[in-house]
Structure 1
């Protein structure tokens, strides 16, 4: 039986305000609160809230047989809690149906898996804790930022306790093979993989309202007929998209909501069911292995990392940021750690991309900057101030090993002091009790 696996990604970064050179050392607040609030509320109103409502109606209409998965970054949840709590309420309703699976990902929507395994593990743990707290689910499937995947990342994920991941069905790793099966990592055979079907996914997320597309207009009946017409051996169709496809990337007037509302009926009529990633990987055996020595992603035709790390500006900013990761892990400053999280979002490097910038493509329209160079200068000014704050606590004159030793000593002393305080309190309490016992009652 053919099965459709819908997965939707939710993320919004904390956008930086215009931060100039003379702000360094004077202004330690980096965010454009007005833009962040305005953008989140706009997207919530035209996309997230109506999408939540539509999908909940579909689950109820088909009595839980319509299923899908969602992953949401921690930085997006942080903003929703402040600017659009009704979106979280809607996601909670979806979670309570039992038909929606929440996936694990990095809290910051970061590229940490490419450079800092410790940070990568920490962020995944933090995001899963947030998902458990808000939606009462413990994620079983890992979706890395931008679907970035490699043999090394598979090994890291497995060591973190994951045996299931989702990624991109890139031709450079599949060659002639179809993405419509369950695979496993060649490097870590205990890691099962669901690979995105880019054609079926992009037909909805990118081409749905494209008047020049030869298949326009796309109807639910036509779409399902394409899936039904595939080889009988192809059973799993992984349709992975940005949640903003509904109402934002594809506006409501395009008919995207009506398309989605009609789709399950045509699927069920053809004997096609819906399932979540973990359910599929629990019930289907891998048909083969994939080897991914160089990291892939779900972006652009190349399916590589060039959208975020394709030029010298991006690489310079990226390496400068992670040079201080060891010192950040030693810090206890809550504000410093929160800034560290927000500065890691992949979007900051995305804005520095020079790919297609001059052709007016859709990618450049997502950037709040006039050019990639403006994005680089603004980010590096912020990063300079941030690094100065880190160095104020942990000077360069002390290397990481020495610093770690000193902090360990301090932490041990703190624990010893707390222990002695506890013992002293216990002794004082006992003495008070003895004194009460000896005091004659008048």
Structure 2
């Protein structure tokens, strides 16, 4: 069995309560943003990158991983923690790490009525990957693994050979996520996340009431080895290691020992590009534009970001602002508008209950979804007023 590890690396620009200063940073709490980046860097990015680098060397290059790093994370790191970028460049130099494209601003631009902004943000991300790591991504991971047939068409037109999305039952039906698929009437390949095995680490690793607790590297490697199919794609937030699950839970030891235990069992580590080079698609996947798939919540649809009236108001305001901001010819306003598109700002406004609601609140820096809405909408209205005044 082959194992594909892909890590999402992202930090949003969180919003301040009272706006001050010049665009584009007028709306953003950069004191908090810097504090959060430094915390996550010291808890996760720097130690985890060091572990991965050591295991790549120890395994003579048999250990391979892939990263999808948002442009907003790179922007923050460039401002406050350049050593984080240096540590990813060290990994890039090993030749055992793949970097995947996404939207630079980690936005929902792929579901806007007009796709020009989506194309711009993806191209900007490809450019920053080339400048930072000297590579041109072959594979697209759209924000939040959102995918539908039209997004596949856009991905192919942008030159990508494959996309990564969620292996949801409503997309695959009876089929397994552990196979390579292709888009309908297209040569675009589709890699699907095995969400159960991904969430065993991402969500359940430190859950003491979980029947499989504690999760050890040898136990997990056995699960992978016993899996059927071509490969297992495990995709999760990189912040899983050290931030969502603190080091005291044993998560960093798990990261260090998983490659060793997997290799011991004959499991090969592949990058996503190696998967599409080695395997042929077994079937087509069709995802209607009326119901895109994502990796969020039990519904695995768009409801995590545009499921309630507050979220839809902000989303529609963002779309409405496009022509206003672009016609203002103000670079600061344009950058602020794009930063305000970050999906996290909508995610914080969810009012879902149950387990999904707890996850939304865990990630939110605000006391309530209503505060998240107020800050986001106030920023959008302020930006609109500024642009109309400029015009």
Normalised to the residue count of structure 1, the TM-score between the two structures is: 0.85
Aligned pairs for 1:35-434 (under 5 A) are: 35-115=32-112, 116-186=114-184, 188-231=185-228, 234-293=229-288, 294-356=291-353, 361-394=358-391
Task: Determine the C-alpha separation between the residues in 1 that align with 2:320 and 2:357.
Answer: 34
Task: Determine the C-alpha separation between the residues in 1 that align with 2:380 and 2:199.
Answer: 35
Compare 320-329 and 356-365 and name the one that shifted more: 356-365
State the number of aligned residues. 388
**1:373 deviation in Å?**
1.3
SS at match of 2:12: coil
Structure 1: unaligned runs, 5 residues or longer: 395-442
**1:26 deviation in Å?**
12
Task: Determine the C-alpha separation between the residues in 2 that align with 1:284 and 1:3.
Answer: 11
CA contact (8 A) 2:64 2:269 kept: yes
Task: Determine the C-alpha separation between the residues in 2 that align with 1:309 and 1:369.
Answer: 18
**1:24 deviation in Å?**
12
**1:230 deviation in Å?**
2.5
CA contact (8 A) 1:149 1:296 kept: yes
Paired residue for 1:405? none
Paired residue for 1:436? none
Task: Determine the C-alpha separation between the residues in 2 that align with 1:358 and 1:139.
Answer: 35
Paired residue for 2:4? 5
**1:333 deviation in Å?**
2.2
**Per-residue displacement from partner, 1:394-432 (whole Å, max 9, x unpaired)?**
4xxxxxxxxxxxxxxxxxxxxxxxxxxxxxxxxxxxxxx
Paired residue for 1:406? none
Task: Determine the C-alpha separation between the residues in 2 that align with 1:80 and 1:160.
Answer: 27
CA contact (8 A) 2:178 2:231 kept: yes
CA contact (8 A) 1:307 1:350 kept: yes
SS at match of 2:336: helix
CA contact (8 A) 2:350 2:360 kept: no
**1:251 deviation in Å?**
1.0
**1:330 deviation in Å?**
4.0
Task: Determine the C-alpha separation between the residues in 2 that align with 1:134 and 1:60.
Answer: 22
CA contact (8 A) 1:356 1:363 kept: no
**1:176 deviation in Å?**
1.4
CA contact (8 A) 2:168 2:293 kept: yes
**1:28 deviation in Å?**
7.8
Task: Determine the C-alpha separation between the residues in 1 that align with 2:198 and 2:153.
Answer: 27
Compare 220-229 and 105-114 and name the one that shifted more: 220-229
**1:258 deviation in Å?**
1.1
Change (3 A) 1:331 1:102: farther
Structure 2: unaligned runs, 5 residues or longer: none
Task: Determine the C-alpha separation between the residues in 2 that align with 1:200 and 1:303.
Answer: 16
Task: Determine the C-alpha separation between the residues in 2 that align with 1:368 and 1:264.
Answer: 34
- Could you say which structure has the larger radius of gyration? 1
Task: Determine the C-alpha separation between the residues in 2 that align with 1:27 and 1:153.
Answer: 29
**1:138 deviation in Å?**
0.7
Paired residue for 1:429? none
**1:306 deviation in Å?**
0.6
CA contact (8 A) 1:142 1:164 kept: yes
Stretches of 4+ moved more than 6 A in 1? 23-28, 357-360
**1:269 deviation in Å?**
2.1
Compare 366-375 and 320-329 and name the one that shifted more: 320-329
